[in-house]
Amino acid sequence: MMGFIMKYRIAMIAVAAVVVVGGVWWYIHSSDAPAFASVTVGRGDVIESVDESANVMTEQNAGIAFQEGGQIASVNVHEGSVVNAGEVLASLDASQFSAALQQANAAVAAAQASVAAAQAKLDGLASGTRPEQLQIDQTAVTNARSSLAVAVSNAYSAAADAIENQTDNLFSNPKTNNPLFLVPTSDSQAQNDLSSQRVIIGTALANWYSGLSATGTDPSALYSEADATLSKIDSFINEISLAVNGAPAAAGLSPTQLAEDKAYVAAARSEVEAAIGTDTSNISSLTSAQDALALAEAGSTPQDIAAQQAVVDQAKAAVAQAQAAATSAQVALDHASLVAPFNGTVQSLTAQVGQVVAAGTPVLTLVNQSGLKIEAYVPETDIANVTTGDKAQVTLDAFGTGIIFPATVTTVDPGETTVNGSPAYLVTMHFSGKVSGVKDGMSGNVRIIEAEHDGVIEVPTNLIITNGTSSFVLVPGVGGNEQRTITVGIQGDNGMTEVLSGLNVGDRIVNF
């Protein structure tokens, strides 16, 4: 029966295609204008969706874990709490994530300033250097120097915090000449080396601070001192990380203490690496500003202009890199909140305020209230537009097509699965509300809403003619039908297509 229906549909599509192609051929090749009716262009709601068969399955318990490690600052639920999707269940101390984001945003601002300075210089070279431009370039150098000085000072604060408030928790007497690394290691020499290096790091921080306190110091010289010291501290933290991660299991170190030590190391590394990135961005900005000033003072040549264009391109690349880092920092900050991925009941709650947890370690179990989920395999050709949060409409054979159960896409598997010899991706959905009578194993269909544009200009899809990469419709003209080029949007399921440009409400188009 299903095969017959599919053959019928294919036959009908073929007939429709012949009609459309024949009409277009007639319009292009016939010397006589055919007498076609017309339709009026109006507005409507265009919905683009994908329809697939689906099955109801029993919902598995989900262990919920933070995606970042840290110290729990709040727990908003208790054992047996009923929560809704999107509700914050617990939160980490977000101070270190906020600091990293702040530094990343500062790096973006510095990189954008570099682009502006480089572009201004390029414009000046192209139009000839003027005294006003020279003053602008000099100001850019001055500002870049000031920004670098501030960045170096902030980097010192971050480095000092990383050592004194993070890694020093792993030492006894850390600020003396005889510190002792407290984490047991299988390599006594490594333990002694870390203790010795703590003394060296303390001296380097002190020297760095003295340089910052001196008046009239060139920011470039401050950067050199900062770069060398941050490099030492970064290596020091990496060696501590190796020691902590390699701590022998039989050394008496509790899992909680080990997790806490790892969190200290992770926080220290985050602060130092953010400081290194900010300093690097600011010295790059100063170098770019100085280069721009030098070019302006020397006068412009075709070679100068080409070189400055390369500087602009490099600065733009730095902006893109800084923005990517800022995005990552924002994601880490967002991960400081543990959010319920679906409606459910809290069980096996172990999270406590003040507890230090590692990323990926479950702190509670969330059980779906309805106990059911819907799974469907979406073909490779349609999966690109399916995302988490999409609305869906589920119909089940047991209830008939007249009853629709609203649902929401909760996960899209990143890996493909071969279904009937073709690649497809497993999409999991959850009912948006409580359902009654639905049972495990029921089958049906799901309609996933990929896009919905309401109140847009729309025309019948079958009246749109595609020629290569362009689309057009036929409109009645004085001497006959004329082509009207249009820009199309999404194609709806009801046979209508959104028109972005080329037509207005009330226009008439040929119905062939």
With residue 422 as reference, give the H or E element that holds it: strand 422-431
Which residues neighbour 428 within 8 Å (Cβ) at sequence distance 6 or greater?
A: 373, 374, 375, 409, 410, 411, 412, 413
Phi-psi region of 454 (alpha: psi -120 to 50; beta: other; left: phi over 0): beta
**63-93+336-365 has which fold?**
OB fold (Dihydrolipoamide Acetyltransferase, E2P) (2.40.50)
Domain 27-48+452-511, CATH 1.10.260.40 — does that match? no
> What is the distance between the alpha carbons of residues 280 and 4, in angstroms, rounded to a whole number?
68
In one-letter notation, the amino acid at residue 368 is N
pLDDT by position in tens, the chain (length 512): 333 333 333 333 443 444 444 444 445 454 444 556 889 999 999 988 899 999 998 766 688 999 999 999 999 999 989 899 899 999 999 998 899 999 999 999 999 999 999 998 888 777 766 777 778 888 988 898 888 888 888 998 999 999 999 999 999 999 999 999 888 877 778 888 898 999 999 998 988 888 887 766 677 888 888 888 999 999 999 999 988 887 776 566 788 888 898 899 999 999 999 989 998 898 888 888 888 888 777 766 788 888 889 999 999 999 999 999 999 989 989 999 999 988 888 988 999 999 999 999 999 988 775 678 899 999 998 898 899 989 999 999 999 999 999 999 999 999 999 999 999 999 999 998 888 888 878 999 999 988 889 999 999 999 999 988 899 999 998 888 999 999 999 888 888 999 999 999 999 999 88
> Could you give the residue range(s) of every CATH 2.40.420.20 domain in the chain?
27-48+452-511
Write out the residue limits of the CATH 2.40.50.100 domain(s) in the chain.
63-93+336-365
Predicted TM-score of the model (pTM):
0.35
